[in-house]
Chains A and B, each alone.
Chain A
Amino acid sequence: MRPFTYARAATEDEAVAACTDGAAYLGGGTNLVDLMRLGVAEPARLVDVAHLGHDRIERRADGGLRIGAAVTNGDLAADRTVRAEFPLLAQAVLAGASGQIRNLATVGGNLLQRTRCAYFQDVTKPCNKREPGSGCPAREGEHRNLAILGHSAGCVATHPSDMAVALAALDAEVRVRGREGTRTIPFGDLHRLPGTAPERDTCLEPGDLITAVEVPPLRMPSRFRKARERASFAFALVSIAAALRTDVPGGTVTDVRIALGGVAHRPWRARRAEERLRGARASGEAFLRAAEAELEAAEPLRDNGYKVPLARNLIVRTLSGLVAP
């Protein structure tokens, strides 16, 4: 591992000022330390942002939550309000990693974790995300776990976070402190599709620090589900975070949110399916038609076509469960 200097920031000002070129923010380190050990990340300086007072979950006036960026995944999933009022968020966090990792990992770091594409993590292989212009061996190589939606010629990576899928469905916002001040980014704008710049996972600029995630109130039944290759401690093949409200039981859909994980370079908000369902009668048939409409855009690779029916069935089963729990 390349040597680095370490600075524990006491304030946001101090953190942003210390995050000069070649520096990286350190939250829990569960992904960054691993990438440094692999030689994928080589920061010359780590700026520790775990002690900025961003470790609280606060109730907003509208009933929503402000979740500090340094809250650990473990504390987020343990929070009584999150468990009772945002079950899809608690379920998503608990579906990710292991108990040990969740106690180190932070909300901000979770959103900024890098893809687990095997080529990205292997410095002996080309990868446009790690080394722009070097090529993408995954497109013709090992891509069973990679994207079916929104990928580009240069990158077929997926975003690995489960939490981010729930936050996409929740219409969350991300509070960012940068060199030019503070701003709020709609969650759907945080992560990018790869296009011709797969080295950029998000819209964040150098020095930008995530300080909190704002979650508006949900007030409707919700659920997160995850399909993976073993029962626990594995990344999603496909995951879904969904919420659904009908006017009367089994009646007309008045509000619906669907986000998919494991299918794209960012959490995939299924807006086309949502549009189909809003105002429609809640039925298995309607859910199936909506899922198929969303997945018309899918462009599966040679070995990951299974994700299309998997995503379709997850949408139908999860929405059906929300109507008749």
Chain B
Amino acid sequence: MNSVPADGPDPVRAEITLTVNGSEHRLGIDTRASLLDTLREDLGLTGAKKGCDHGQCGACTVLLDGRRVNACLALAVAHDGADVVTVEGLARDGRPTRLQEAFLAHDALQCGYCTPGQLCSATAVLDELGRGLPSAATPDPAAEPVPDDAEIRERMSGNLCRCGAYAGIVAAVREAARA
């Protein structure tokens, strides 16, 4: 992170409440803290990764009030009272979701660094498809999307994978979407 110049203004603190994976937390933060840094540094939830810190790679994707977002671009102070789900909170009663099982079955990862973001993003993609929301790959935006490979690739384009596990990721999301 950038350091504060010695003669610059003092850091500003704020208090916020976040519900993360079902647990409520009262947190004292620097107003500059991203949601990502707050999750990782203050709450020890290191699943969400800092890849680019510019919203370009998607490794930091979490669910914020039910929607997928880049936690690196969200200022924690602006989301006081929010409900956050990270990759650590996807499983139910210790059992992986159908999507997580599909990632394993289709070898949808190699090094795994992007995987928490891929999983949170794909979890939201399944929800968006279930709600009939269009994407840029939907021929008619007024029509219901069909979850084919073109749709899945387009919807997952905010998540980069340097290992190139895309073929497995598309297959895993397709299987989970059709389940």
CA A94 to CA B153, docked complex, whole Å? 14
**Stretch in B39-47, B98-106, B108-116, B120-128 with 4+ CB within 8 Å of A:** B120-128
Chain A residues lying within 8 Å of B34, measured Cβ to Cβ, are 33
Q: Which residue of A lies closest to B154 (CB)?
A: A232
Q: Give the distance to chain A from B53, nearest Cβ to Cβ, in Å.
A: 7
CA A95 to CA B141, docked complex, whole Å? 11
B94 within 8 A of A: no
Residues of A90-115 whose CB lies within 8 A of B: 90-91, 94-95, 97-101, 103-104
Q: Give the distance to chain A from B40, nearest Cβ to Cβ, in Å.
A: 16
B23 within 8 A of A: no
The one of A34, A48, A77, A84 that contacts B73, using a Cβ cutoff of 8 Å: A34
B136–A232 touching, CB < 8 Å: yes
Residues of A55-94 whose CB lies within 8 A of B: 74, 77-78, 80, 83-84, 87, 90-91, 94
Chain A residues lying within 8 Å of B125, measured Cβ to Cβ, are 99
A100–B68 touching, CB < 8 Å: yes
The one of A29, A33, A78, A100 that contacts B133, using a Cβ cutoff of 8 Å: A78
Residues of A7-59 whose CB lies within 8 A of B: 8, 26, 28-30, 33-34, 36-37, 39, 44, 46, 48, 50
CA A46 to CA B32, docked complex, whole Å? 10
The one of A34, A37, A78, A80 that contacts B2, using a Cβ cutoff of 8 Å: A37
Q: Give the distance to chain A from B170, nearest Cβ to Cβ, in Å.
A: 13
Count A-B contacts at CB 8 Å.
Answer: 128
Q: Give the distance to chain A from B28, nearest Cβ to Cβ, in Å.
A: 14
**Stretch in B7-15, B84-92, B171-179 with 4+ CB within 8 Å of A:** B7-15
A100–B69 touching, CB < 8 Å: yes
B10–A33 touching, CB < 8 Å: no
Q: Give the distance to chain B from A9, nearest Cβ to Cβ, in Å.
A: 12
Q: Which residue of B lies closest to A30 (CB)?
A: B73
Chain B residues lying within 8 Å of A34, measured Cβ to Cβ, are 54-55, 73
A3–B141 touching, CB < 8 Å: no
Chain A residues lying within 8 Å of B2, measured Cβ to Cβ, are 1, 37, 39
The one of A4, A28, A33, A100 that contacts B158, using a Cβ cutoff of 8 Å: A100
B75 within 8 A of A: yes
- Interface residue range, chain A: 35 or more
Chain B residues lying within 8 Å of A100, measured Cβ to Cβ, are 55, 58, 61, 68-70, 121, 158
Q: A37-B2, A77-B141, A83-B142 are in contact. Are A232 and B70 (CB under 8 A)?
A: no
Q: Give the distance to chain A from B75, nearest Cβ to Cβ, in Å.
A: 6
Q: Give the distance to chain B from A236, nearest Cβ to Cβ, in Å.
A: 12
Q: A74-B67, A101-B70 are in contact. Are A231 and B78 (CB under 8 A)?
A: no
Residue from A28, A97, A101 with most neighbouring chain B CB atoms (10 Å) = A101
B136–A3 touching, CB < 8 Å: no
Chain A residues lying within 8 Å of B31, measured Cβ to Cβ, are 3-6, 46
A178-199 to B contact mask, C-beta < 8 Å, 1/0: 0000000000000000000000
CA A30 to CA B133, docked complex, whole Å? 22
CA A44 to CA B53, docked complex, whole Å? 21
Chain B residues lying within 8 Å of A33, measured Cβ to Cβ, are 34, 73-75
B4–A3 touching, CB < 8 Å: yes
A99–B128 touching, CB < 8 Å: yes
Chain B residues lying within 8 Å of A90, measured Cβ to Cβ, are 134, 141-142
The one of B58, B124, B134 that contacts A77, using a Cβ cutoff of 8 Å: B134
Q: Which residue of A lies closest to B124 (CB)?
A: A99
The one of A6, A74, A98 that contacts B14, using a Cβ cutoff of 8 Å: A6
Chain B residues lying within 8 Å of A39, measured Cβ to Cβ, are 2
Residues of A near any B CB (own CB < 8 A): 1-6, 8, 26, 28-30, 33-34, 36-37, 39, 44, 46, 48, 50, 74, 77-78, 80, 83-84, 87, 90-91, 94-95, 97-101, 103-104, 231-233
22 example contacts (A-B, Cβ-Cβ < 8 A) are as follows A3-B4, A3-B30, A4-B12, A5-B12, A5-B31, A6-B31, A8-B78, A28-B73, A30-B73, A46-B31, A83-B142, A87-B142, A90-B134, A90-B141, A91-B136, A94-B135, A98-B70, A98-B159, A100-B68, A103-B69, A231-B153, A231-B157
Q: Nearest 9 CB-CB pairs, A to B? A: A98-B158, A232-B157, A90-B141, A103-B67, A233-B157, A94-B136, A83-B142, A84-B142, A83-B141
- Seed contacts A94-B136, A233-B157; 14 additional CB < 8 Å A-B pairs: A1-B2, A2-B8, A4-B32, A6-B12, A30-B70, A30-B73, A39-B2, A80-B142, A94-B138, A98-B70, A104-B69, A104-B70, A104-B73, A104-B74
